[in-house]
Structure formats: structure tokens, C-alpha cells
Amino acid sequence: MKMLIEILKSRNETLYYFGLICLLTALICLVCAKIFPVQVLGTNALYKPFKFLLSSTIFVWTMAWFSGYLTPSPALNWYSWGMVVLLSIENIYILLQVSRGLTSHFNTSTPFHQFMWGIMGAAAVGISLWTALIGSAFFTRSFPALPDHYVWGIRLGLLIFVVFSMQGLLMGARMAHSVGGADGSDGLPVVNWSKTYGDLRIAHFLGMHALQLLPLIAHYLIRQTKGIILVGILYFLMTSFVLIQALIGKSVTSMFR
């Protein structure tokens, strides 16, 4: 583990330290959730920043790892600091709203909240498109030192990540993540995915974490190019199916009945 951390730090020090800050803050939120039961929309409000901060850690550390395969450049440095700024905007605002006992997403109740909702949306789109731009290097360059199946795991992970991170625009357009009922219904522990209605957050989560899952599968399990391409296609179809189920109002639990 110590060696892994050292390698990660050497690949992208900026994203490494930012991910560490996000991780420590997420753990603080998790501890505080047990001490301060602040409720927003029927669930402990501190679970939300915990999830977003943990997700931020996983994302920036993944991109820090991938950036080690790319040639150091001003563009890569700008990307790293851009992710720090854009993710900080989202996470700090979520923490601010939690401290006030208010929602951050879909909240346009005042001019300030309208402005911040727009800023959050712009930050999320910026993260997706900027990652697509940096990630395009994995499609335009050769990586002779890396196994072909692993490169394809990264490529497919990036593609699916971008598609389903942009799916967040669908939730923004609806001003809700639930389909068939109001947000705040009975949900699964911690993640709070609705057990009653369709929930667009599930496909969003699955698609975004293809960025980690597919390269790991390619590296440890499916060490064959055609095999990982097939897995990537199946993963995309599965996540799309989950999205369609949500759009027609079916909850995640209804899929297992």
C-alpha cells in the first residue's frame, strides 16, 4: 500500500494531495453523521458530502494514475489544477448547504441558490468535457509499454464515464433525480437510492465508475483485447438498461422482484 501511494504521488502530486484532502474530509463527514443527525429530505444530510468527497477522491486518484502514462505538459498541469478548482466548487457548496440544513442540488429558491445551481452545473460539465479532452490522448497515441487490453480498458472506461457523467444534465433538466415520485422517498442505506421510484443517480454512479472498474478488470481478469471490449459493451448496455428502468419509473429494488 505504501508503495502504491508513493507511485500515485509521483505520477501527479497535485491530484494526489487534493484526493487526500477529499478523503480526510469525507471521513470527518462520516464521523459527524453519527454525532450530528442533521436531516435533509428524510436522510442524514452529512452522507451527501461524504459520498461526493469520496467519489472525488476516487476520481482524481484514478486520473492521477492515468496521467502517469501521459507525457508531462502544461495542458496536463492545467487539467490537474482545473479539477481541483471545479471539484472544490461542488464540494464546498454542498458542505455549506449541509451546515445550513439546506439542499444543494435542484435548489433555486433564492437568487443566490439559482446562481450556485448554475455554477455547479457548469463545473460538472467542465469536469466531464475536460476529462474527455485529456483522455482523448489514450485514443490518439500509442502506448507500447502497456498491454493492449489494459489500454482498451482505460479507453472504454473513459468513454462510459463521459457519457454517464453528462447524464447528470438529464437530472438537471428535470430538477429531480426521482422518476414517478418526489425526491426524498425511502431509499437504500447511505446511497439513498429510491426503493419506491425510478432513480437516475444509479446509472450515473455505475457509468462514472466504469473509469475504475474496466481498467481493473482488464488488468487483473480479462487479459485479452476482444474480451475487455466485449465486457465494456456489456457494461454500457447494462448501465443503459438501468437508466431506462429509472426513466420509466421503476425502482432499483423492483429489478430483483
pLDDT at 1 over 80: no
Q: Which domain holds residue 200?
A: 142-257
Please report whether residue 248 resides in a domain. Answer: yes
Q: What is the pLDDT of residue 41?
A: 65
Query: Number of structural domains, the chain?
Result: 1
Please report whether residue 147 resides in a domain. Answer: yes
Please report whether residue 88 resides in a domain. Answer: no
CA distance 233 to 10: 33
Please report whether residue 189 resides in a domain. Answer: yes
Q: What is the pLDDT of residue 35?
A: 80
Please report whether residue 126 resides in a domain. Answer: no
Please report whether residue 136 resides in a domain. Answer: no
Q: What is the mean pLDDT of residues 24-50?
A: 84
pLDDT at 257 over 70: no
Please report whether residue 55 resides in a domain. Answer: no
Please report whether residue 109 resides in a domain. Answer: no
Q: What is the pLDDT of residue 256?
A: 61
Collect all residues with Cβ–Cβ distance below 8 Å to 237 and sequence separation of at least 6: none
Q: Is 157 exposed, middle or buried (CB count within 10 Å of its CB: 0-12, 13-18, 19+)?
A: buried
Q: What is the pLDDT of residue 117?
A: 95
CA neighbor of 162 nearest in space, from 198, 201, 136, 190: 136
Q: What is the pLDDT of residue 200?
A: 95
Q: What is the pLDDT of residue 193?
A: 87
45 close to 39: Cβ distance less than 8 angstroms: yes
Q: What is the pLDDT of residue 187?
A: 78
Confidence of residue 192 (pLDDT cuts 50, 70, 90): confident
Q: Which helix (H) or strand (E) holds 40?
A: strand 39-40
